[in-house]
Structure 1
């Protein structure tokens, strides 16, 4: 199993209490630490407002961070899980990503999806198209980026995007193009787009049975398109709080809750379910390793971890690096 990790950027209230002037230094330090460690990749979210409730707390912009991490690391690959297609013109996004690929020496991943966070869509003036429209935008946008990266220009007279000879030079360093991670488990459209374009998929949120089902749907789309399903790496995301003992895990969860509670109001209880006792990657070393082994056996090739404590306490990350990754990598 391959491993990546999210870095705190504020979106999940994971930089609260850190002075805004110091937040980039915190992110850079953690990125460089990951660069020196066992991680294959580092990731951020593409969002503008905090979740699950919008607030005035910082949320740093994903593609600006891609360029910054590109210049301040040397080995790890750099991704977003996932870029929202509706937030940027796809020809412009192709240009941004190609430039970041050069800055990084060819380490950019393109995580891309249809988007879902209605509050920020409307707040930024993007409207909020219905799901079928967002997915059609995704398909058109991916086609434009693919053309741009592989040929140096893109032309498409689509329903949502129209580009006519949009030049993207220099093309990415990666040959033939920056890898696509198509995120989401929509069975009729999203997974069909993944079967058509993706080098990676991302779905199921660590749920084994859901993963198996979505994987079968993806295989069906690949068969219908005549594509070898083995060309697509399957990934999933998991929230991790890990300790040596259950008591230590409970203390860590309580510390995360104490930090989040002042910001979440009535959404606190539902938000904390992401770190509840029924979450199989919230637990002891043995419990977390066992669940990830089951995911691996089910066909998950790549796991992207999120540690809510990372900006404040690295001991959980260190435990995962020293005890879990060696068992599964």
Structure 2
């Protein structure tokens, strides 16, 4: 199994009480931590969002994903760089293909492209994108992925589409990676998203409990076989909300610290929604032994890549150290 970690960027109220002038240094230091040769982390990730969750805040920062990608590309040397995931509608896909190719060049060929249809209605409307229904957003995803595929395999893109009209757009420089930047298609939509993934993706990313993961995997297999694609060439990944402690009491202490940190900003209802993510069926909350057991079960179902969100690492890296020393070595390829 391979491992990635999210860098806190404010979206999930994970930089509160840190002066905004110190945010970049906080993110930079965590990226450097992951970039160390013996860290165990293959990749670092950010979210592509503009407004905080679960409550859109007027005062708390959410740092922009592709600006951070360029900064991490220039300030790290080993770790791979991804977003989980870029919303296809927030940027013209030919422009996005060019941005990503430039980031790949800066990074020395370490960029990943996580791409999805988007879902956060509040920020869509606030930034003037409208909020089309899910089938429309999925058609936008299909067109956007096609544009990026053309751009990175031919250096040009043309599409007379429903949403974008692109005419011989030149995308130079080309990505350094042969065949273009690896595409991570995010989402588990069975009829459209997984079909797009079966055609274009090097990686998929979908969440849910164990049975859901197995069901989505079989649907992906069916799409791949119908397209003549080797199912095993597609690495399946999932994101996990992760809190690890040395024992049950330590886990509870860490959860209480998270609650105390966000409660002043979210209020009772928002705090309850925030904490629910760490009690969901696909959360990884427990001791290293417990987390290893859960991930081993997922690996048996075909999970090849686990990307972890640790809510408190801007303030305390001890849980990150514990995970890196006891969980990763038990499962790493």
Aligned to 2:7: 7
Equivalent of residue 48 in structure 1, options 37, 47, 50: 50
How far residue 161 of structure 1 moved from its aligned partner, in angstroms, is: 0.8
Q: With structure 2 as the length reference, what TM-score do the two structures score? A: 0.97
**1:236-275 alignment runs, 5 A limit:** 236-265=238-267, 266-275=269-278
Q: Does 1:226 align with 2:261?
A: no
Secondary structure of the structure 1 residue equivalent to 2:52: coil
How far residue 279 of structure 1 moved from its aligned partner, in angstroms, is: 5.9
Equivalent of residue 166 in structure 1, options 160, 166, 169: 169
Secondary structure of the structure 1 residue equivalent to 2:149: helix
Contact preservation (8 Å) 1:5, 1:305: yes
Distance 1:282 1:158, change over 3 A: same
Gaps of 5+ in 2: none
How far residue 270 of structure 1 moved from its aligned partner, in angstroms, is: 2.1
Structure 1 residue ranges (4+ consecutive) displaced by more than 6 angstroms after TM superposition = none
Distance 1:271 1:26 in 2: 22
Distance 1:276 1:236 in 2: 16
Distance 1:198 1:268 in 2: 35
Distance 1:128 1:279 in 2: 28
Aligned to 2:27: 27
Gaps of 5+ in 1: none
Q: Aligned-pair RMSD on alpha carbons?
A: 1.0
Q: With structure 1 as the length reference, what TM-score do the two structures score? A: 0.98
Contact preservation (8 Å) 1:277, 1:283: no
Distance 1:184 1:280 in 2: 17
Secondary structure of the structure 1 residue equivalent to 2:303: coil
Distance 1:160 1:280, change over 3 A: closer
Equivalent of residue 326 in structure 2, options 294, 304, 323: 323
Contact preservation (8 Å) 1:249, 1:283: yes
Contact preservation (8 Å) 1:280, 1:288: no
Contact preservation (8 Å) 1:280, 1:291: no
